[in-house]
Amino acid sequence: MLVWSRSGRRLAWFLAALLFAVIYGLPIAMIALASISGQWNGVLPSHLTLMHFANSVQGESGDQLRVSIMTGAIASAVALVSGTCAALALRRIAGAPKRLLDAIFFIPSAVPSVSVGLGLLVAFSQPPVLLNGTTLIVVIAHFVLISAFTYGSVSAGLGRLAPDYEQVAESLGARAFYRLRRVTLPLVAPYLIAAFSLSFAFSMGELGATVMVYPPGWVTLPVGIFSLSDRGAIFDAAALTIILAVTTLIVLIGLSRVSTKAAVR
Amino acid sequence: MAELSVAVPRRAPRDFAGLWIGPPLLILAGLFLYPLALILRETLTGGTAVLSLGHFAEVLGSALFRTALYHTIIIALGSTAGCLALGFVFSLIIAFVPFPGARLLARLIDTFIALPTFLIALALTFIYGSAGLLNEGLMRLLHLDLPPIDFLYSQWGVILSEITVYTPFVMRPLLASFSLIEPAQIEVASSLGARPFRIIRQIILPAALPALLAGGSLCLLLTVNEFGIVLFIGAKDVITLPLLIYDKAIQEFDYTTACVIAVANIGLSLGLFSLYRLAVSRFEDRRHAGLV
């Protein structure tokens, strides 16, 4: 307790509540209001409507939501496998090579997303591999950007693991693959799930690399939201943003439930 | 812990498990390092067979690049300063002037990390935009014809959005370091007559310094790389490096210029990333030593 007087505490709380309301509460409230506003010529909308949400679920916006979910799920799944593989293998490497490899796996999170997109565009618009204009290049861009998150999250989980369980399993004669499948992976399962949710959430909101590489047939939701807002259809954009945020949060909450269950077991 | 776990295979050197690093490393090399190398090659050749540093000199000397670099740095520094200040105030109250629901509030702010960054930029147009809540309200109240508040479509709008989005990244390490401060230390100080500001200055701030460094350098990195917010605010005279890369490559198909700017941007980001790693390792060392 830092402030002892009752009035001082009240003042501190009031200031914090005001700051929070202005900085976080108001924007969320306004974007939610905008998503259901029919006409907004005055201070507040004159009437409310669900039309923008109806627009969103049908037509191209619905497709964009599906594209985003699929891109996020595939890229996160691949990143999870490759990140787990890297984190597990790095446990068996020591010294300078370990530090170097660790840095290499983290670097994609430091490189600006637009540059990652530019690199893919330059590299795969020329032989030997031509991927420009395909769906795959979008998934690759998302994979590269989130691979550092999954790697970091899994290696943090492995770092916190007490070595006893694995040593006991080994001394009891468990083979390496059996040990991995029955001991190590179940123990780090909460971290694997957290890694997947974090990367899925990131992928759902990714814009910088996607605008560089997306083909007309594979438009993700953030790209769709930007083109709506660019055209001045800001209420439709607001409704789509709400859908994007809610979908992301549902997946996150769902997965964190699964994760708690895995931890309890 | 990491030292402990690698100690096992050293005892039994029959292990080739380290070779599993191969597949993920190959994937990363093909999909990330190879494109980066081609960006670098493009800057030197400009799509021809001749190597030269001419493109570099030309682009880096241009007014367009310098203005973008200036905007990027100003926006990053301003946003980071704002995030540190706001994050410090929020964390201080959540940790040391606790109220019912303080933990819930901390978690609510934390979920912001998962949301797309442009959400805030879009939301702010409904509040501070020319036809937004504030301007419409003031115009009606004061009988004005023109919107009186016009900061959103400038670097200030970008800075405000980035402060909102990136403050949670500062609060995470701050709350962690605050939870390790011995409450008795603060109670003794205040029973000896120290005022809250003195306690903050002499006890809390020194203990929070590594967390502020770690959170601040992460903020710098993220704000230098930020693209969505700048794109959505869409102010004509606020061009940052990532936005300039997008403009050059996608609007003008000028890949060589885009690549040169990308190399500069990546260099800046990697420098900030090293700073962040350094700050984090110091933060972790102090935490392990029980100093934080």
Q: Is the pLDDT of residue B8 over 60?
A: no
Q: Is residue A145 part of a domain?
A: yes
Residue of A nearest to B275 (CA): A110
Residue of A24, A115, A155 to mutate for B, most B C-beta atoms under 10 A: A115
**pTM of the predicted structure, to 2 decimals:** 0.87
The answer to whether the CB atoms of B242 and A204 lie below 8 A apart is no
pLDDT band at A109 (very low <50, low <70, confident <90, very high): confident
Q: Cα-Cα-Cα-Cα dihedral of B122, B123, B128, B131, to 10°? A: 70
Which pLDDT band, with edges at 50, 70 and 90, does A179 fall under? confident
With a cut of 80, say whether residue A10 has pLDDT above it: yes
Query: What whole-number percentage of chain A has pLDDT above 70?
Result: 95
Task: Specify the number of domains making up chain B.
Answer: 1
Range of the domain at B77: 54-288
Residue A103 resides in a domain: yes
Q: Residue B213 falls within a domain, yes or no?
A: yes
Interchain CB contact of A200 with B (< 8 Å): no
Q: Kindly report, residue by residue over B52-87, the tens digit of the pLDDT.
A: 777 777 788 888 899 999 999 999 999 999 999 999
Range of the domain at A125: 73-220
pLDDT of res. B264: 92
- Judging contacts by C-beta atoms under 8 Å, the chain A residues touching residue B191 are none
Answer whether residue A78 is part of any domain: yes
- Give the pLDDT confidence score for residue B201 in this predicted structure: 84
Q: Measured between CB atoms, which of B105, B245, B246 is closest to A20?
A: B105
Q: For residue B248, give how far its alpha carbon lies from the nearest alpha carbon of chain A (Å).
A: 10
* The pLDDT of residue A42: 67
Residue A203, chain B, CB below 8 Å: the answer is no
> What would the mean pLDDT of B148-169 be, rounded to a whole number?
89
Put simply, whether A44 touches B (Cβ < 8 Å) is yes
Asked if the Cβ–Cβ distance from A111 to B270 is below 8 Å, we say yes
pLDDT value of position B10: 43
Query: Which chain A residue has the Cα nearest residue B37?
Result: A119
Res. A122: pLDDT tops 60: yes
Residue A108 inside a domain? The answer is: yes
Statement: residue A98 has pLDDT above 60: yes
Q: Could you please report the per-residue DSSP string of B196-257?
A: HHHHIIIIIHHHHHHHHHHHHHHHHHHHHH--HHHHHH--TT---HHHHHHIIIIIS--HHH
Residue pLDDT, tens place only, B237-290: 889 999 999 998 888 888 888 999 999 999 999 999 988 888 888 777 666 554
- For the record, the structure tokens of A203 come out as 């992928």
- Please calculate the CA angle A22-A23-A25 and round it to the nearest 5 degrees: 70
Q: What is the mean pLDDT of residues A6-22?
A: 85
Are the beta carbons of A23 and B86 closer than 8 angstroms? Answer: yes
**Confidence (pLDDT) at B36:** 92
Which residues on chain B are in Cβ contact (under 8 Å) with A252?
A: 111, 114
Comparing CB atoms, the residue among A20, A30, A116 nearest residue B123 is: A30
Q: Do A252 and B114 touch (CB under 8 A)?
A: yes
pLDDT band for B7, please (50, 70, 90 cuts). very low
Query: What is the CATH classification number for the domain harbouring B211?
Result: 1.10.3720.10
Is the pLDDT reported for residue A170 higher than 90?
A: no
On whether residue A162 sits in a domain, the answer given is yes
Residue A262 lies in a domain: no
**What's the confidence (pLDDT) of residue A207?**
92
Q: Is residue A127's pLDDT more than 90? A: no
Answer whether A112 sits within 8 Å of B269, measured CB to CB.
Answer: yes
pLDDT at B3 over 60: no
DSSP H helical ranges for chain B: 2-11, 22-28, 34-45, 54-61, 63-96, 102-111, 118-128, 133-142, 155-178, 183-191, 196-199, 205-225, 228-233, 241-246, 255-288
Using CA coordinates, name the residue in chain B closest to A136.
B31
Task: Return the pLDDT at A259.
Answer: 74
Instruction: Find which of A10, A18, A40, A92 to mutate to test the B interface (most B CBs within 10 Å of its CB).
Output: A92
Q: Is residue A207 part of a domain?
A: yes
Give tens-digit pLDDT for A40-77: 766 677 777 777 777 777 777 888 888 999 999 999 99
DSSP A97-138: HHHHHHHHHHGGGTS-HHHHHHHHHHHTTSTT---TTSHHHH
pLDDT at B49 over 80: no
| In a domain? residue B28 | no
Q: How many domains does chain A have?
A: 1
Is the residue at B32 inside a domain?
no
- Asked if A147 is an interface residue toward chain B (Cβ–Cβ < 8 A), one would say yes
Q: Is residue B4 pLDDT above 50, yes or no?
A: no
In a domain? residue A242: no
Pairs across A and B, CB distance < 8 A = 280
Residues B192-237 have pLDDT tens digits of: 877 888 888 888 888 888 889 889 999 999 999 999 999 998 888 8
Check CB contact under 8 Å for B115 and A94. no
CATH of the domain at A172: 1.10.3720.10
What pLDDT, on the 0 to 100 scale, is given for residue A79? 94
Neighboring chain A residues of B187 at a CB cutoff of 8 Å: 1
Round the average pLDDT of chain B to a whole number and report it: 83
A176 CB neighbour count, 10 Å cutoff: 14
Is residue B35 included in any domain, yes or no? no
Tens of pLDDT, residues A187-217: 888 888 888 988 899 999 999 999 999 998 8
Measured between beta carbons, the chain A residues lying within 8 angstroms of B49 are none
